[in-house]
Structure 1
Amino acid sequence: MSPALDILRPGPRTSLQDLGRVGLRAMGIPVAGAMDRIGLRLANALVGNPPGEGCLELTLSGPLVQVEADSVRIAVAGPARLTLTQADGARRMLAPDRSWRLVRGDRLEIGPINGSLVAYLAVEGGFAIAPVLGSLSTHLGAGLGPLGGRALETGMLPLRRNDAGPGPERILTRPLPYGDGPIRLVPGPQADAFTEDSLATLLSSPYTVGARSDRMGMRLEGPTLHHRAGADIASDGIVAGSIQVPGDGGPILLLADHQTTGGYAKIATAISADLPRLGRAVPGDRLVFRAVTIAEAEAARRAQEQAVQDCLDSLASIEESGRIDLAALYRAELISGVVTGDEEPVAPPEAETI
């Protein structure tokens, strides 16, 4: 039998995603892709995949899968609850944000994702699924992408590898740079279509992520915004982060599955550095906003990209015993020894078993 993960329970709206279907918006084809691109990149780095390899995007809770391969290296990036049931019936909890080697017959149950909308499951070598228009991204609303453009269902999900590669497991050793504080906005491109106090209202009032939010857009519940002369404009291009305001005055912050053009005025645009954090937001989360310039937005994205790369470059190895490889941490300059009066470095005590 070909190597696969047997999907025993798919989880709510689990889908295949990568970094998006780029270069086709001029033909009306949305980008789609991961809601949290930082999380997808981490999952892939933990198992040694290229950054944009397709992963399973898990929403609120994940699937129950059984390994139908001699062995497989997996990683779940995000605060999910992981329970491993081995072929002999033994059960134990696994930590997210690190890789694990599973063997044939092992069952992995991914439970609730705490504090985030999404998490990502990567497998070493990736899934043996043909891309659609150059991408493994799934646009659920349009039915576009792998697996017929639908969410994951029960059955076999084929793998490219039948065996996990040699080498140690890997673990995240520093926080990912999602940022905190207000979501940063660049006003426009149609800020002048709104009354003078509307932008000030958006920037001074808290909004709540609404229950009707989805991969296409986040409904922001809070003070109503007002147009000068109606909500409609000649349809123009849309990017992720655009805040459209339809006639009812309720802002919608557009996310990964956003349409390519739209005919409602856009009061502001969330900067790209804050999109991964927005992609993780769950209904009921409270958001506040502040305005920045285009130059500040570009600087924030460059700084975040450098910080993400630093995190991925600093992943530590874990020895077969389950202990962190301290030598690897020293080489990465993530921890240091204790300096005595003779200036001789003294290594800290051995790390706790993970």
Structure 2
Amino acid sequence: MSILVEQGGLLTTVQDRGRRGWQQYGVPVAGAMDQQAMMLANLLVDNDEGEAVLEATVLGPALRFQTANVFAVTGGDLSPQLNGQVIPMYRAVAAGAGDKLTFGGLKTGFRAYIAFAGGLDVPLVMNSRSTHLRGKFGGYEGRRLMPGDEIGFAAPRPTLPNLPARRCDPEEIPGAELWLRVIRGPQDKAFTPKGLDTFFSSEYTITNECDRTGAKLEGSGIEHVKDGNIISDGIAFGSVQVPSNGQPIIMLADRLPTGGYTKIATVISVDIPRLAQSKPGTKIRFREVSVQQAQDLYVQAMGRRRELAQRIRGAAVAADVRRFLVRLEGREYQVSVERCE
């Protein structure tokens, strides 16, 4: 009950929500770069939203199904194909034993997420199946997937109730320009008024020095009061560090738990998926929002996802229920029968 990796793609790893609760011990979080795409992929195949998926960057893998199972692809469009036929994104698809999932090339975005019904059978390491590449632990042997790797399915499902209803609209994929909303600080006092104005009024470009740890930006230098060094403190997903050279770095999923550079701002949670789908060369500008605004936007996003989950699951259940009028001893009864696998 598994998939065989025939080609690993440029960078394909096992990721879930991340290794949370261990930063105090110096353990990085890791996890999916685009958490929204990961959660939607799992929702489409009837998994828990935080179940482990495959994250593919730029060039997707070639996977051979050894066992029939349902899967879904979300996030960046890397041109998924099943047995050479183009398949839609953001839709549950049934694959049979021997079928081959491949990717033709990058169309939009930067990272795709592949979820499999029942989840992937890889070990839990500190309550997570996520791969941390620099630490060489978690996921599949702590590394990217390579030809010949075989990953088991935990509980494969050859079909799901009302498969055609398991679909949703694609998420917004950024183009060549991206506005990111940020909360100022925590070290905003380490920058001059001119430096703060530069940060919020200038355009920055994602450089080729961009990976799962962080995205280095290039643009107008941001002026410090002294320099960019501080006593190391905690780093959040989306923290914008500014070293003494004045060039910002946005810290991402594989960031270390602490760092010693001043942080001018933090990208809000709902904008991180768009950042995760942005490739080198993308132009970025920053817009300040309050903590309350960021929280309101997060609550709204969670509400939309709950509504989507109810719609998908409700449609699947409704389509698999049969209703009958039964007459028994002169009385009529409305009976509903739901098919169970």
- TM category, shorter: 0.7 to 0.9
| Contact 1:172/1:316, CA 8 A, preserved across alignment | no
Q: Aligned in 2, Cα 1:114/1:178: closer, same or farther, shift over 3 Å?
A: closer
Q: How many aligned positions are there?
A: 314
Q: CA deviation at 1:162?
A: 5.1
Contact in 1 for aligned 2:173/2:277 (Cα 8 Å):
no
Q: Deviations over 1:190-220 (max 9, x none)?
A: 1111121111111111111111111111111
CA contact (8 A) 2:216 2:247 kept: yes
Shift of the alpha carbon at 1:223? 0.8
Tell me, yes or no, if structure 1 residue 295 matches structure 2 residue 292: yes
Q: What is the TM-score normalised by the length of structure 2?
A: 0.87
* CA–CA distance in structure 2, aligned partners of residues 123 and 101 of structure 1: 10
SS at match of 1:147: coil
Aligned-partner SS, 1:11: coil
Match of 2:169 in 1: 174
1:203 matched residue in structure 2: 200
> In the alignment, is the contact (CA less than 8 A) between 1:59 and 1:119 conserved in 2?
yes
Which of 223, 226, 229 pairs up with 1:232? 229
Task: Name the % identity.
Answer: 35
> Is the CA contact 2:241–2:250 (under 8 Å) kept in the aligned structure 1?
yes
Q: Which runs of 5+ in 1 are unaligned?
A: 86-90, 320-324, 329-354
Q: Tell me what 1:130 maps to.
A: 123
Taking the aligned partners of 1:304 and 1:64, their CA distance within structure 2 comes to 33
Corresponding position: 1:266 with 2:263: yes
1:80-91 correspondence runs (5 A): 80-85=78-83, 91=84
Partner of 1:121: 114
What does residue 65 of structure 1 align with? Answer: 63
Q: Aligned ranges for residues 23-62 of structure 1 at < 5 Å?
A: 23-62=21-60
Say if 1:76 and 1:96, in contact at 8 Å, map to a contact too.
yes
Alignment of 1:81-160 (within 5 A): 81-85=79-83, 91-154=84-147, 155-160=149-154
Say if 1:195 and 1:228, in contact at 8 Å, map to a contact too: yes
- Shifted more, 174-183 versus 220-229: the winner is 174-183
**Deviation digits for residues 11-67 of structure 1, max 9, x if unmatched?**
111000001111111111111111011100111111111000000001112100111
State the shift of 1:270 in Å.
0.9
TM-score (norm 1): 0.83
Q: What does the per-residue CA deviation read over 1:267-316, in whole Å, with 9 as the maximum and x for residues that have no partner?
A: 11111121111111111111111111111111111111112222333338
Identify the match of residue 76 of structure 1 among 59, 73, 76.
73
User: What is the alpha-carbon root mean square deviation over aligned residues?
Assistant: 2.2
Query: For residues 316 and 82 of structure 1, do their structure 2 counterparts lie closer, same or farther at Cα, with a shift above 3 Å needed?
Result: farther
SS of the residue corresponding to residue 212 of structure 1 reads strand
Matching of residue 194 in structure 1 with residue 187 in structure 2 = no
Aligned-partner SS, 2:19: coil
3-state SS in 2 of match to 1:49: coil
Shift of residue 174 of structure 1? 3.4
Distance 1:307 1:175 in 2: 13
Q: Which secondary structure state, in structure 2, belongs to the residue aligned with residue 138 of structure 1?
A: coil
CA–CA separation in structure 1 for the residues paired with 2:191 and 2:82: 53
Q: Give the Cα–Cα distance (whole angstroms) in 2 for the partners of residues 73 and 138 of structure 1.
A: 23
Q: Deviations over 1:59-98 (max 9, x none)?
A: 11210011111x111111132312222xxxxx42111110
What does residue 242 of structure 2 align with? 245
CA contact (8 A) 1:176 1:311 kept: no
1:183 corresponds, among 172, 180, 183, to 180
> Unaligned stretches of 5+ in structure 2?
320-341
The answer to whether the Cα contact below 8 Å between 2:16 and 2:129 also exists between their aligned partners in 1 is: yes
- Provide the C-alpha distance between the structure 2 equivalents of 1:13 and 1:248, rounded to a whole number of angstroms: 30
After the TM superposition, which segments of 4 or more aligned residues of structure 1 sit over 4 Å from their partners? 177-181, 316-319
Distance 1:271 1:231 in 2: 22
The reply to whether residue 164 of structure 1 matches residue 158 of structure 2 is yes
For residues 10 and 278 of structure 2, the distance between their equivalents in structure 1, rounded to whole angstroms, comes to 16
Contact preservation (8 Å) 2:123, 2:138: no
In structure 2, the CA distance between the partners of 1:176 and 1:197, relative to structure 1 (3 Å rule), is: same
**Alpha-carbon separation, structure 1, partners of 2:209 and 2:166:** 35
Aligned mates of 1:292, 1:184 — CA distance in 2 = 6
Relative to its length, the structure with more strand (as a share) is 2
Q: Relative to structure 2, which stretch is displaced further, 164-173 or 141-150? A: 164-173
The answer (yes or no) to whether the contact 1:168–1:317 under 8 Å persists in 2 is no
Matching of residue 306 in structure 1 with residue 303 in structure 2: yes
SS of aligned partner of 1:149: coil
- Give the 3 Å change call, closer, same or farther, for CA 49–305 of structure 1 in structure 2: same
Deviation at 1:167, TM superposition (A): 2.0
Paired AA for residue 218 in structure 2: E
Cα shift at 1:164: 1.4
